[in-house]
Amino acid sequence: MPPVETRSSERGAILVFVAIAILMLMGFLTIVMDFGISWVSRGQAQNAADAGALAGAIARAYDELDDPPATGGEAATSAEQGAESNNVWGQAPVAQVSWTCPTGVAGDCVRVDVYRNGQFGSASLPLIFGKLLDITSHGVRATATAVVATGNATNCMRPWAVADRWRERNPGPGERASQLGDNFQRWKKVGNDVVLDGTTPDIYTPASSDSAGSGYQLPSDFGTEVRLKSGNPNSNNEAMTPGWFLPVRLPDGAGGYISGGDDYRDAIAECTGNTVTIGQYLPLENGNMIGPTAQGVGLLEGQDDAANWDGEGVADSCAPTCAPISPRIVPLAVFDMDEFQWRREKGDWTSAWGSNPSNPCPTGGRCVRVVNILGFFVDRMEGNDVMGNLLSVPGEFVLGAPSVGGGASFLVNIRLVR
Same domain, 267 and 325: yes
Same domain, 206 and 90: no
Choose the final residue of a domain: 149, 180, 203. 149
Residues with Cβ within 8 Å of 112's Cβ and at least 6 positions away in sequence, in order, are: 49, 52, 53, 56, 79, 80, 82, 83, 95, 96, 97, 143, 144, 145
Residue 378 within any structural domain of the chain: yes
DSSP 3-state of 327 = coil
164 and 186 Cβ atoms separated by less than 8 Å: no
**Burial (Cβ within 10 Å: 0-12, 13-18, ≥19) of residue 18:** exposed
Residue 307 within any structural domain of the chain: yes
Q: Which domain holds residue 140?
A: 13-149
pLDDT of amino acid 176 = 45
Residues with Cβ within 8 Å of 182's Cβ and at least 6 positions away in sequence, in order, are: 172, 175, 239, 241, 242
Same domain, 108 and 193: no
pLDDT of amino acid 169 = 77
Residue 3 within any structural domain of the chain: no
pLDDT of amino acid 33 = 72
Residue 209 within any structural domain of the chain: yes
Distances (CA, A) of 121 to 33, 126, 226, 300: 25, 15, 49, 49
pTM for this predicted structure: 0.81
Amino acid at 222: F
Q: List the chain residues with pLDDT less than 70.
A: 1-13, 16, 26-31, 129-136, 170-181
Same domain, 172 and 95: no
Residue 372 within any structural domain of the chain: yes
Same domain, 321 and 401: yes
385-391/308-309 β-pairing = unpaired
DSSP 3-state of 291 = helix
Residue 385 within any structural domain of the chain: yes
pLDDT of amino acid 367 = 97
How would you label 387-409 residue by residue, b for 16+ Cβ within 10 Å and e otherwise? bbbbbbbbbbebeebbbbeebbb
Amino acid at 253: G
pLDDT of amino acid 106 = 82
Same domain, 283 and 212: yes
What are residue 114's phi and psi, to 5 degrees? -110, 135
Same domain, 348 and 366: yes
Choose the final residue of a domain: 149, 166, 196. 149
Same domain, 180 and 144: no
Same domain, 63 and 30: yes
Choose the final residue of a domain: 123, 149, 175. 149
Residues with Cβ within 8 Å of 346's Cβ and at least 6 positions away in sequence, in order, are: 189, 193, 194
Same domain, 269 and 411: yes
Residue 382 within any structural domain of the chain: yes
Same domain, 29 and 132: yes
Which helix (H) or strand (E) is 276 found in, with range? strand 276-277
Same domain, 130 and 194: no
pLDDT of amino acid 348 = 94
Residue 113 within any structural domain of the chain: yes
**Total domains in the fold of the chain:** 2
